[in-house]
């Protein structure tokens, strides 16, 4: 049927396809979305947030904002009752992202293999 070198070429082409598609998903993963923003606008903000006073400012402004608009007790109740759900969201969103990325890459390759197999079978049937 197919000789060994042709098999290696086919498998290496699929390997290149998988690597190229996974490189896309890795390059544009959500943790790197900040890289899509212009450097001039984000650099001073990140510098400020990395300082000791910047962290305090962000935390205190978020707490004051939530206390004013939502209320003290409801805010504390929300934080204490949903702390597990918040951490779960932080873990689940990347898992869904990578599951979707890996599934889409391998589904694309499987569809290509299936398409080539069907074409091969039909060509062999037509030739006979």
In a domain, 88, yes or no: no
7 lies in the same domain as 30: yes
50 assigned to some structural domain: yes
The reported pLDDT for the residue numbered 26 is: 82
The answer as to whether 100 is a domain residue is yes
> Distance between CA atoms of 20 and 15, rounded to whole angstroms?
9
| Same domain assignment for residues 110 and 77 | no
Q: Flag whether pLDDT at 70 surpasses 70.
A: no
pLDDT value of residue 89: 76
Residue 50's domain comprises 38-81
Q: Percent of the chain, pLDDT > 70?
A: 89
Q: Is residue 86 part of a domain?
A: no
In order, the DSSP letters of 74-95 are HHHHHHHHSHHHHHHHHHHHHH
pLDDT at 2: 54
pLDDT digits (tens, 9 = 90+) for 91-124: 888 888 888 988 988 898 889 889 988 988 888 8
User: Which pTM was predicted?
Assistant: 0.43
Mean pLDDT for 75-95 is 76
Distances (CA, A) of 7 to 14, 15, 48, 56: 11, 12, 56, 60
**Per-residue pLDDT tens over the stretch 15-24:** 888 888 888 8
- 30 and 47 part of one domain: no
Give pLDDT tens digits for 24-55: 888 877 777 767 777 777 778 778 888 888 88
Residue 9: pLDDT band by 50, 70, 90 thresholds? confident
* Total of domains in the chain: 2
> Is the residue at 90 inside a domain?
no
Task: Taking residues 70-97, report their average pLDDT.
Answer: 76
């Amino acid at each position: 049927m197919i000789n060994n070198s042709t098999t290696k070429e086919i498998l290496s082409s699929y390997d290149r396809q998988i690597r190229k598609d996974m490189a896309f998903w890795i390059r544009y993963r959500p943790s790197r979305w900040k890289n899509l923003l212009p450097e001039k606008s984000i650099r001073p903000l990140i510098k400020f947030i990395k300082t000791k006073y910047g962290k305090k400012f962000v935390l205190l402004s978020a707490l004051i904002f939530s206390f004013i608009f939502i209320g003290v007790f409801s805010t504390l109740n929300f934080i204490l009752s949903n702390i597990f759900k918040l951490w779960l969201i932080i873990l689940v969103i990347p898992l869904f992202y990578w599951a979707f990325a890996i599934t889409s890459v391998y589904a694309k390759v499987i569809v290509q293999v299936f398409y080539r197999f069907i074409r091969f079978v039909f060509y062999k049937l037509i030739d006979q």
